[in-house]
Amino acid sequence: DGGITQSPKYLFRKEGQNVTLSCEQNLNHDAMYWYRQDPGQGLRLIYYSQIVNDFQKGDIAEGYSVSREKKESFPLTVTSAQKNPTAFYLCASSIRDAPGEGYTFGSGTRLTVV
Amino acid sequence: GNSVTQMEGPVTLSEEAFLTINCTYTATGYPSLFWYVQYPGEGLQLLLKATKADDKGSNKGFEATYRKETTSFHLEKGSVQVSDSAVYFCALGASRAQKLVFGQGTRLTINP
């Protein structure tokens, strides 16, 4: 079955370290997205990519970086410049230019700074 | 721009109660509308959708009707169960837009 896989499920980071969250999909979707979710809050868009080798900043891109070298993969790096990185991170994918199809989400990565 | 406004939570109901979670939207053209559900510690799952006016999306006993005249897509269920406890997100997808627009989410708790 096709789907979207995020790993790891739980991640602990020491202050000052960069960490990379993995997101892989086998749905043949062109578009991929990263969201941040804080406790009791909605979704905030970090970065998105509509096509390989291209990506755009979302609403809260500062302190994060991404790459899109393969269609299947859209890793997110949380850098030491992100002052408050503890949150739940969600990756999603979609068919490009098909608003009626919606998104498929991964199961999320919970990042904690220790 | 496009936007989605959801009923603020949290919402607490007893088992077998009737559920309504309100969702209204602002958009140009004819957007597609979605309800997603998020169980504790998990990602979002598509619950139902509607792609044109007067369409009714339904799944797992939940229903929502796309009402263009009132720009609404309210989520309803006739008899809720404890297992329906989750956060529900209303979302809008417009043609030629690159991203879905999500509401803030409504936390639903069902007590036995």
Contact A104 B103 (CB under 8 A): no
Instruction: Give kind and range of the element (H or E) at residue A89.
Output: strand A87-94
pLDDT digits (tens, 9 = 90+) for A30-58: 999 999 999 888 999 999 999 999 999 99
- Rounded CA-CA distance B14/B79 in Å is 9
Distance in Å, alpha carbon of B72 to nearest chain A alpha carbon: 17
- Best mutation site among B23, B99, B101 for testing chain A: the one with the most A CBs within 10 Å? B99
Contact B43 A43 (CB under 8 A): no
HSE (CB half, 13 Å, CA atoms) of B49? 17
Contact (CB, 8 A) for B74 and B64: yes
For residue B14, what pLDDT is reported? Answer: 97
Location of structure tokens 């990506």 = A55
pLDDT band of A99, cuts 50, 70, 90: confident
Which pair of tokens denotes residue B72?
Answer: 């609404």
- Rounded CA-CA distance B99/B50 in Å is 17
